[in-house]
Amino acid sequence: MAQRRIAVIQAGTSLFDTPRTLERMEAHCQAAAAEGVELAVFPEAYVGGYPKGLDFGARIGSRTAQGRDDFLRYWQAAIEVPGPETARIGSFAAKMKAHLVTGVIERDGGTLYCTALFFGPDGALLGKHRKLMPTASERLVWGQGDGSTIPVFDTHIGRIGAAICWENYMPNLRQAMYGKGISLWCAPTVDERDIWQASMRHIAYEGRCFVLSACQYMTRADAPDAYDCVQGNDPSTVLIRGGSVIVGPLGDVLAGPVHDREAVLTADIDPADTIRGKYDLDVAGHYARPDIFRLSVNETARAPVSYQVEVADGEGGEDGEEPGEAAP
């Protein structure tokens, strides 16, 4: 197989300023395009922002008016999927002629979701993955995804999917992704800790896949003046220090980690290395022991409200279909 160039983009959000964030994103995409990449991955919550250090005025049994205003500001910075912002992000992918995966904060009614979006090299929005389990205080401001958005896309460079931040610690989700034959595992995150590096190497080795972990690098200067975070108000204070990394199917680090600055990390890979790796370990194949263990994945969309229209007697055709509609 031909060599492929892949990339992770370590960059920060202009918090609560989505137009400015998209301008920064476009510049990073141009830099990645100059490197000739075929896949670029941006961090968790890149568009819409990760409000690190805010508490949204929540205490057990009470919420504050200021916290509600913080949520309103966060909701206003989020994007609808699809929408004008996704069309613009798609145009970045089309100019790159590359696949693009990015974290966003998705607005759906009054609820926000931490979501990963997938774009093709023609700019088309291929689909999305909503984070299944927000971690700790994230649950105050993000809803939970369901099994209907756990896609793995078959592309000319490999099978692309994503797990967001601490979803990577969900063994059943990992096995579900392995079962779909994922070979390019995208891990948008804001986890800057050293142990995250061990986790990314473990997943690459366990799944015999390439792991692309993009982490934000964000300082207090990336947030507005009216931002009451626990870290303080010094503009130089680092809120998220990065640590983006690319790992190969045998756990070998191919690029990174990089800390304390924005960066475009690239690696040239041989997609066939995923098959070479599965020679002795295929956790969704010859190493699975389905006679003992079995995982069932419910991919049904779980809408909170469903609407049904009943057709009055005599108004519809056979079995209640609309007039002129063929019966199944």
* 73-109: pLDDT as tens digits: 999 999 999 999 999 999 999 999 999 999 999 999 9
Cβ neighbour number for residue 189 with a 10 Å cutoff: 27
The dihedral through the CA atoms of 165, 171, 172, 178 has a sign that is: positive
What the block records as the tokens of 286 is 């010859």
The answer to whether 164 touches 212, Cβ cutoff 8 Å, is no
Give the residue among 126, 123, 122, 131 at the shortest CA–CA distance from 104.
Answer: 131
pLDDT digit string, tens, across residues 117-142: 999 999 999 999 999 999 999 999 99
Question: pLDDT category, 316, cuts 50, 70, 90?
Answer: low
**How many other C-beta atoms lie within 10 A of the C-beta of residue 315?**
10
DSSP 8-state symbol, 143: P
pTM above 0.95, yes or no: no
pLDDT tens, 186-228? 999 999 999 999 999 999 999 999 999 999 999 999 999 999 8
> How far is it, in rounded angstroms, from Cα 70 to Cα 88?
26
105 pairs with which residues across the strands?
A: 114
- 138, amino acid identity: E
pLDDT at 315 (0 to 100): 64
- C-alpha closest to that of 125 among 92, 150, 148: 92
Instruction: Report the pLDDT value the prediction gives residue 5, as an integer from 0 to 100.
Output: 97
CA–CA distance, 193 with 169 (Å, rounded to integer): 14
In which element (H, E) is residue 310 found? none
Segment 22-62, tens digit of pLDDT: 999 999 999 999 999 999 999 999 999 999 999 999 999 99
Amino acid letter for position 50: Y
| pLDDT on residue 323 | 44
Please compute the mean of the pLDDT values over residues 265-275 and round it to a whole number.
97
What is the pLDDT, as a whole number, of residue 171?
97
Cα distances (Å, whole numbers) of residue 143 to 105, 127, 134, 258: 11, 18, 7, 31
Give the per-residue pLDDT at 111. Answer: 97
**Whether the predicted pLDDT of 325 surpasses 60:** no
Please tell me the distance from the alpha carbon of residue 77 to that of residue 38, in angstroms, as a whole number: 29
pLDDT of residue 228: 87
Q: What is the pLDDT of residue 324?
A: 44
Helices (H), ranges, the chain? 18-34, 65-77, 84-96, 171-179, 194-207, 273-277
Active site residues: 44, 131, 165
69 pLDDT above the threshold of 90? yes
| Confidence grade of residue 304 (pLDDT, cut at 50, 70, 90) | confident
Place of tokens 């920060």: 12
pLDDT of residue 326: 42
CA nearest 187: which of 213, 161, 218, 148? 213
Looking at the chain, the whole-number percentage of residues with pLDDT higher than 90 is 89
